[in-house]
Structures are given as structure tokens and as C-alpha cells.
Amino acid sequence: RVRNELLVIKKTMGECCPPGSHGPVEPQAGYIPKGRIETLDDGKVELYVSEPGERTGKAILVLHDIFGPDSGRTKQICDIYAENGFVTVLPTLLKGPYPMFVLPENGGEKVISKLRAGWYLRGFKWKAVGSVLNDHVLPFLKNNLNINSIGLVSFCWGAWPMVHLMSERHEIIKCGVGFHPSLLVFTVHMENAKAHLRKIEVPTMLFSAGNDPADGKPGGFADKALSRTNKYSECLLKEYKQMQHGWVNRGDLSDENVSRDYEDAF
């Protein structure tokens, strides 16, 4: 069984964080998150919740990258959304220790890194991740925070649960935005990404970096799949050719090019 698992990962594992990506980044030094931690299901589910002064019934559900909820500016971005009037919730969907590396350019080390990342991700299947979101997070938003409209925002790995949720056609979910989306995570789980994308009936934006795979870029398979939906006219796929995967929540904003494209995408 283990041998079969390894063969699947070797054959299907695309780069969740491709060579040249921004690697794992600690939260910004000196920044104090403005939200709070909530726990659900007897402490098994943890959420970071950042709220505006007054609730409007609208929320943003943020789906973190492979490095977890404390990756780079993720919580700071949640606070920015809250400052702009949205209840913002960031659930912990992957458990540590996280695979704190990006793929080398080539050679045996790249193969080993792919296997490590793939093996890690295979441990978090949709049955478990979907249960956290559908059985706990969405009910919490609706029943505890009185939310009636949700937008999804994802980073990297988070595009996988985002597309799953949108393909389930929850009435409360109104749109989805994927920053440097890692759609190749679907292949790790032997799932059909195109089939899920074709089921989406809400406006969708995918913002890819130059070194991201072609699947999430204009003209890629995600674009072609979304073109078959009735909301395609409200979708946008854009490539930031000078950027590296991870720039929105992990790129160095002291770099004027990163700062420029961060502001544009945000």
C-alpha cells in the first residue's frame, strides 16, 4: 500500500510551491493580530476571527496556504478585510508540522521534496477538510456571526478547498478569489479539477504568478472549464509575470515590484 501511495504521488504531484517560489515566511515582525481565536468541536477546530466595528452580514472566509494560518501576512490580510467592513474568518485546515520548504530547481533533492510534500498533503483528504468547513465553519458563520453572504479568498493550497466549496454550490457563497492557486493539489488526491471547476456558479478570480503552472492562467484548463459556466463573464484570470508564487501573502513588500503587484491583486 505504501509503495502504491508513493507511485501515485510521484506520478501526479505537481509543485504546490514551484521552484523559485517565496518560501515559508514568519508573520511580520512587530505586527500584533487584531482578531481573536475561537475553537469549535471541543477544541478540534481552531479559527482566527477578525471583525469590523459593526457586522453587516457579509464575511470573507480565508483558506490558508500549505504553511498554515500563520504564514507571512495571512492574518494581517484578514485584519485588512475586517477594517473594510467584512467579518473575516481563517480556519486552521492543515496540521503541523508543516512542510517548510519550496521545491529545488532539479535533481534528486527535488524528487524527494515532491514526495515529502505529496505525502503530507495526501494526509488531508476532502472528507476531513470538507467536514471541518461544512460541519463547523460555515454553521459558525451563519448561526454564531449571523452571516448571510460569504466570499472565499485562498492562497496556494487553499485553492483546493475553495474550488471544492464553490463546486458544492452553497447558496451563501457568492464568489471566490485564488491568489497564486495550486490547482495541482487535485492531482495529489486523484480528483478531477476540471469537473469541479465546471460546477462553479459564482464569479471567480484566479491570480497566478509567472512561475505558477499554466493551469490557473488565462487560456489554461481552469479558464477553459470556467468558460463553460454561466458566470464566466464575471470571472477574471490574470498572470503577474514578474511575480513568484506566494507574493501576495509572503513576498517582500520592500521590493517595489512586489509591492506594486500586491496592491494591484489585493
**CA 33 – CA 117 distance, rounded (Å):** 29
Please write the tens of the pLDDT for every residue from 2-36.
Answer: 445 444 434 444 456 677 788 778 888 889 999 99
Whether the predicted pLDDT of 217 surpasses 70: yes
**CA 224 – CA 61 distance, rounded (Å):** 26
Highest mean pLDDT among 53-57, 115-119, 211-215: 211-215
What are the cell numbers at 60?
Answer: 470573507
Q: What is the DSSP string of 189-225?
A: TT--HHHHHHT--S-EEEEEETTS-GGGSTTSHHHHH
**CA 118 – CA 64 distance, rounded (Å):** 17
* pLDDT value of position 21: 80
Tell me the mean pLDDT in the region 102-114.
51
Tell me the mean pLDDT in the region 138-145.
98
What are the cell numbers at 25?
Answer: 515566511
What are the cell numbers at 69?
Answer: 494560518
- Note the pTM of the prediction, 2 decimals: 0.89
Tell me the mean pLDDT in the region 162-177.
98
Q: How many residues does the chain have?
A: 266
* pLDDT value of position 10: 42
* pLDDT value of position 14: 45
In the chain the beta strands, taken as DSSP E runs, fall at 36-40, 45-50, 58-63, 87-91, 149-155, 173-179, 204-209, 236-240
Within a 13 Å sphere around the CA of 109, how many CA atoms are in the beta-carbon half?
A: 7
Tell me the mean pLDDT in the region 232-242.
97
**CA 59 – CA 39 distance, rounded (Å):** 18
* pLDDT value of position 1: 46
Check residue 14 and report its DSSP letter.
Answer: -
**CA 254 – CA 161 distance, rounded (Å):** 31
Q: Which H/E stretch holds residue 153?
A: strand 149-155
Residue ranges of domains in the chain, CATH in brackets: 2-265 (3.40.50.1820)
